[in-house]
Chains A and B, each alone.
Chain A
């Protein structure tokens, strides 16, 4: 069938594209490192300049890996949310998770003045922020789960998540109102997202969390397909709806929660990438959508990160600025092109 050939070809393109962008991401930046040298460095061979090797291994490689994990994790959680809630505007943060993270971090950065000196110092360190973000999103997750167990209607969970999001955002606003300029700047920098500066331990933890989330996502492929016909039909083919809903919410929470904890709230990727995959592959079958979303997510994140580095200059842009600016026109262009959903 022509369609199968087209799909195979596209997947090949995606895999090659991801590899290329990975190498390009490591190569470009304020210091331009030739791709050949990048490969040398990654494969443990002799690199012409020692500084290049140092930069690749200690800065660029961790950042590129983080970018891929973030891109894959957020886009898959976006896909899960969009199918579960049957809402094309749903994204990984629709359950209020990033608002919970923001609240946790806001407490730490702006509320730490209330606590004694040594505690404040720990909290404002990077580990304190990661911990606070996790606790914040975990808190919102528990709240959403408790409420969702009592709700039969899945749409109501969407609204509850949005309401928790608004609530926590309001509290963050109050905190910002009472902070000084330095605290405010610190918090703003966090909320603009950052893919760099993660230790290898942090990356390993992030990789494990993303791995768990993605595995749960793969496990959900068959149930998500049955949901394409609506809840009634899904149950009639044997789907345990409540269990599936729980698994999907949990998968999203692990993915979005861990990513936000280590990289801050990265906007737009979770919402846009599933649509890009759907528009390019023109299918609703979740086995194809899963892998295409995964690869598109990795590619787009690597690409946005390259732009953030503004290669050749010393300036870097915050990642959140770039993801939305790149992502929105792509989705609009694809929609206008294909006129399909």
Chain B
């Protein structure tokens, strides 16, 4: 249990508006250090809801989420920020931020009231820059670099925040195949070199199967976690898409289309 960065048990997620809408219930998950975990599922099955509940943005309907051994709602915003960092795909508001300033923002949970960077902060920032290899970009404004480069910068920012768990929301959308694969490999390398747990949602199931340590497969009726091999053997991928023209081929380990 203590080896896990994130533990979820008996979790029910959904919305409480006028009528309670349950997206999924009785979820149990364990994410360990140094693991690259991908979250997959069809559109609308509730991946974003699950991520929002795990990160504390949304309240669970029932059950518990524990981060580093403690319930997630026992953390104040600052303490939570030192355990969990995020990488999103939303467009950044217009500003003159340089790449270095952007990465440095990841140190805010540790700096004093005026945000002064100490020696240790600079060390962490430089480590993050080295791991993502964005040195040539440091003085450029954030709108002057490509989407793929910006994503590496945002990942560097999350690394500078020095949290045991990093969550990425669909990081591979908008990227071409080469950049998708490069991103996956970068995330994998980060888990190996920093022992952080990285959880990300994605629609690139084939790549996820090839490169993740573990996967969480969400279908309307169940949420299962396991290594790609275990999940293939357990036929977990069959239930993702309800369409009969898409089948999961166990030997090839990928989805194929039936004409």
Q: Which residues of A contact B (CB under 8 A)?
A: 3, 86, 218-219, 221-222, 225-226, 228-230, 232-233, 235-240, 278, 282-285, 287, 340-341
Q: State how many angstroms separate the Cβ of B136 from the closest Cβ of chain A.
A: 16
Distance from A195 Cβ to chain B, minimum over Cβ atoms (Å): 32
Nearest A residue (CB) for B88? A232
Query: Interface size on B (CB < 8 Å)?
Result: 31
7 A-B pairs with least C-beta separation: A238-B81, A222-B115, A238-B78, A284-B95, A237-B108, A284-B96, A238-B109
Contacts of B94 in A (CB 8 A): 341
Given A222-B111, A222-B113, A235-B93 contact (CB < 8 Å): no
Determine if B95 and A222 form an interchain contact, defined as CB atoms under 8 angstroms apart.
no
Show 6 A/B contacts (Cβ-Cβ < 8 Å), sorted by A. A228-B92, A232-B86, A236-B55, A236-B84, A238-B81, A287-B114
Task: Answer yes or no: B105 CB below 8 A from chain A CBs.
Answer: yes
Task: Write the nearest CB–CB distance from B29 to chain A, whole angstroms.
Answer: 20
Determine if B77 and A238 form an interchain contact, defined as CB atoms under 8 angstroms apart. Answer: yes
Please give me the residue from chain B that is nearest to A218 by CB atom. Answer: B114
User: Which partner residue on chain B sits nearest A289 by CB separation?
Assistant: B96
CA distance A230 to B94 in the complex (A): 10
User: A225 and B105: CB pair below 8 A?
Assistant: yes
The reply to whether B113 and A284 contact each other, CB–CB distance below 8 Å, is: no
Q: How many angstroms from the CA of A327 to the CA of B152 in the assembled complex?
A: 40
- Are the CB atoms of A237 and B114 closer together than 8 Å? no
B90 sits at the interface (CB 8 A): yes
For residue A41, give the distance in angstroms from its CB to the closest CB of chain B: 38
Cα distance A108–B95 when bound, in Å?
43
Q: Is A233 a contact partner of B95 (Cβ separation < 8 A)? A: no
- Do the beta carbons of A233 and B86 come within 8 Å of each other? yes
Are the CB atoms of B93 and A226 closer together than 8 Å?
no
Q: In the complex, what distance in Å separates the CA atom of A341 from the CA atom of B57? A: 32
* Distance between Cα atoms of A3 and B88 in the complex (Å): 30
Question: Nearest chain B CB to A145's CB is how many angstroms away?
Answer: 22
Are B115 and A283 in contact (CB-based, < 8 A)? no
CB distance from B52 to the nearest CB of A (A): 10
B88 engages A233 (CB within 8 Å)? yes
Interface-central residue, A230, A236, A340, A341, by most chain B CB under 10 Å:
A236
Known: A229-B97, A236-B85, A284-B101. 5 other contacts (CB 8 A): A222-B111, A228-B92, A237-B109, A237-B161, A238-B82
**CB of B211 within 8 A of chain A?**
no
Contacts between chains A and B (CB distance < 8 A), count: 75
- Counting CB contacts under 8 A, is B41 at the interface? no
Residues of A near B108 (CB, < 8 A) are: 222, 225-226, 237-239
* Given A237-B81, A285-B101, CB of A222 within 8 Å of CB of B92: no
Say whether chain B's binding surface is mostly helix, strand, loop, or mixed: loop
Q: Is B80 an interface residue (CB 8 A)?
A: yes
Given the known interface contacts A222-B113, A282-B96, A340-B96, the answer about A229 and B105 at a Cβ–Cβ threshold of 8 Å is yes
User: Whose C-beta in chain A lies nearest to the C-beta of B81?
Assistant: A238
Interface residue B231 (Cβ < 8 Å from any Cβ of A): no
Q: A340: which B residues are within 8 A, CB to CB?
A: 96
**Which chain A positions have C-beta within 8 A of B113?**
219, 222
Docked CA distance A218–B116 (Å): 13
Q: How far is the CB of A245 from chain B (nearest CB, A)?
A: 14
Q: Point out the residue from A228, A236, A239 that lies within 8 Å of B97, measured CB to CB.
A: A228
Chain B residue at minimal CB-CB distance from A222: B115
Say which residue of A228, A235, A237 sits within 8 Å of B95 (CB atoms).
Answer: A228
CB proximity of B53 to chain A, nearest CB, Å: 15
Q: Within the assembled complex, what's the spacing in Å between the Cα atoms of A236 and B86?
A: 7
Q: How far is the CB of A252 from chain B (nearest CB, A)?
A: 19
A221 & B114 in contact (Cβ 8 Å cutoff): yes
Which residues of B sit under 8 angstroms from A237, Cβ to Cβ?
81, 85, 105-106, 108-109, 161
Is the pair B97, A284 in contact by a Cβ cutoff of 8 Å? yes
- CA A240 to CA B77, docked complex, whole Å: 7
**A221 proximity list for chain B (CB < 8 A):** 114-115
B106 / chain A contacts, CB cutoff of 8 Å: 237
If A222-B114, A230-B93, A278-B96 touch, whether A235 touches B77 (CB-CB below 8 Å) is yes
The answer to whether the Cβ of B45 comes within 8 Å of any Cβ in the partner chain is no
Judge if B224 is at the interface, Cβ distance under 8 Å.
no
Chain B residues with CB below 8 A from A240, complex form: 77
CA distance A51 to B161 in the complex (A): 64
CA distance A219 to B90 in the complex (A): 28
**Pairwise interchain contact A238-B80, C-beta atoms closer than 8 A:** yes
* A86 contact set on B, CB distance < 8 A: 93
Distance between Cα atoms of A259 and B70 in the complex (Å): 49
Q: Does B102 contact A (CB under 8 A)?
A: yes
Min C-beta distance of A236 to chain B, whole Å: 5
Q: How far is the CA of A86 from the CA of B92 in the complex (A)?
A: 11
- CB contacts (< 8 Å) of B77 on chain A: these are 235, 238-240
A225-B55 Cα distance, complex, nearest whole Å: 22
> Is the pair A230, B90 in contact by a Cβ cutoff of 8 Å?
yes
A232-B86, A237-B108, A240-B77 given as contacts; is B92 within 8 A of A225 (CB)?
A: no
A198 to B101, CA, bound (A): 44
Given A237-B105, A237-B108, A239-B77; A229-B115 close (CB under 8 Å): no
Min CB distance B13 to A, Å, is 19
- A90 to B77 alpha-carbon distance, docked (Å): 29
CA distance A239 to B90 in the complex (A): 19
B79, B93, B109, B113, most chain A CB atoms within 10 A = B93
